[in-house]
Amino acid sequence: MKLSWKGIWNYKCPRCGEGDMFKKPFKWTDPIAMNSHCSNCKLDFEPEPGFYFGALIISYGISSWMLLLPALALVLYFKWSVMAAMGFTLAFAGLTYFKIMRLSRSLYLHFSMRYDKSLEDSENSSSKYDKTIF
């Protein structure tokens, strides 16, 4: 079993790598609308209530470093004013908000459950805890 970075980036099921985690098409009114189960292997995408609260920490870590480093570079290296750097940072945060939010959920689920080719045709594939790390 290995971690699939392509599956994380494309929001695919961590077990089979085929089913989509998020509902399509993307809706601005509900950007984190997730499918309840994988359409391919029937993996439950919400193993327990409140499972994705951990994704908030991942989202915070990714976005804080992704926004802090360019802002510091603009102020300290390129000699931008603090207000100009803050404006750039806010615009950049607005452009990447939904991607980071979805990516952190995908990352959290993929770190919890891993791809396993042997489970693709399993009859008991709807079990919430097949081959989890925990």
Q: Dihedral sign, CA of 68, 71, 73, 75? A: negative
Residue 108 within a domain: yes
CA-to-CA dists, residue 130 to 6, 15, 77, 119, angstroms: 21, 9, 50, 8
Quick one: which H or E segment has residue 7? helix 5-9
Listed residue (44, 65, 45) closest to 108, CA to CA = 45
Output the tens digit of pLDDT for each of the chain's 134 residues. Answer: 577 889 999 999 988 889 999 999 888 888 889 999 999 888 888 888 888 998 999 999 999 999 999 999 999 999 999 999 999 999 999 999 999 999 999 999 988 876 555 654 555 444 444 555 44
Does a structural domain hold residue 119? yes
Q: How many domains, in total, are found in the chain?
A: 1
Q: Residue 133: inside a domain, yes or no?
A: no
- Among 49, 56, 15, smallest CA distance to 32 is for 56
Q: Which domain holds residue 38?
A: 5-128
SS3 46: coil
Residue 134 included in any domain: no
- Which residues partner with 113 through β-bridges? 132
- From residue 5, how far is each of 26, 31, 111, 115 by CA, in Å? 21, 21, 11, 11
Question: Half-sphere exposure of 86 toward its Cβ, with a 13 Å CA cutoff?
Answer: 3
pLDDT score of 128: 45
